[in-house]
Amino acid sequence: MTLHRLVLLRHAKAEPAGAVVDHERPLALPGRRQASAVGAALAAAGLAPTHVLCSSALRTRQTWEIVRTALLAAGAGAPSVSVTDDLYDASTGDLVAALQSQPDDATTVLVVGHEPTVSHAAGVLAGPGSDEAVVARVRSGVPTAAWSVLEHDGPWDEVGPAALRLVRLERPA
């Protein structure tokens, strides 16, 4: 049985809402630094994605592009990438449906999304074998550029509530 890993990443720090529509808010300078650090940390942890699901919002796309640059600099290969409007206002159910359609060769899937979806999904998907301290932390929400790692020993179409092990949460420094 193939071990599948899911990395749920909240986009990096964006510019405040203002004259721009929320969907088009760009990353702030601190967010660009956060995203670069996330890419380096994912590479160091052996978590370079084979597949990426990214919200179509500007701040998530920019987060992914900066993470990708850091991963490529560390020698990671180019993953399959899907940018979709479906993840912008996604519920946990929407996210689960997207995960269930991933191919079996998607050994590490990175989702670049928004709060509260990424923390709620991590909490809902966490099942037996999860690190309870990490579960408690994600259930209180996560800051920008935080990422969690869940593991699953079965196929993606079996992903659902309490079906994965939540093993890690990293928050920006």
Q: Tens of pLDDT along 133-160?
A: 999 999 999 999 999 999 999 999 999 9
pTM: 0.97
What is the C-alpha to C-alpha distance for residues 71 and 80, in angstroms, rounded to an integer?
Answer: 14
For 19, which DSSP code? S
Number of domains in the chain: 1
Give how far Cα 161 sits from Cα of 112, 113, 116, 120, Å: 20, 19, 16, 11
**20: in domain:** no
What are the structure tokens assigned to 24, written together? 């088009």
Q: Report pLDDT digits (tens) over 45-94.
A: 999 999 999 999 999 999 999 999 999 999 999 999 999 999 999 999 99
**19: in domain:** no
The closest alpha carbon to 51, from 2, 114, 97, 98, belongs to: 98
**43: in domain:** yes
Which domain covers residue 143, as residue numbers?
A: 4-14+25-170
In the chain, how many H helices and how many E strands?
5, 6
**117: in domain:** yes
* SS3 at position 169: strand
What is the C-alpha to C-alpha distance for residues 120 and 49, in angstroms, rounded to an integer?
Answer: 21
CATH number for 151: 3.40.50.1240
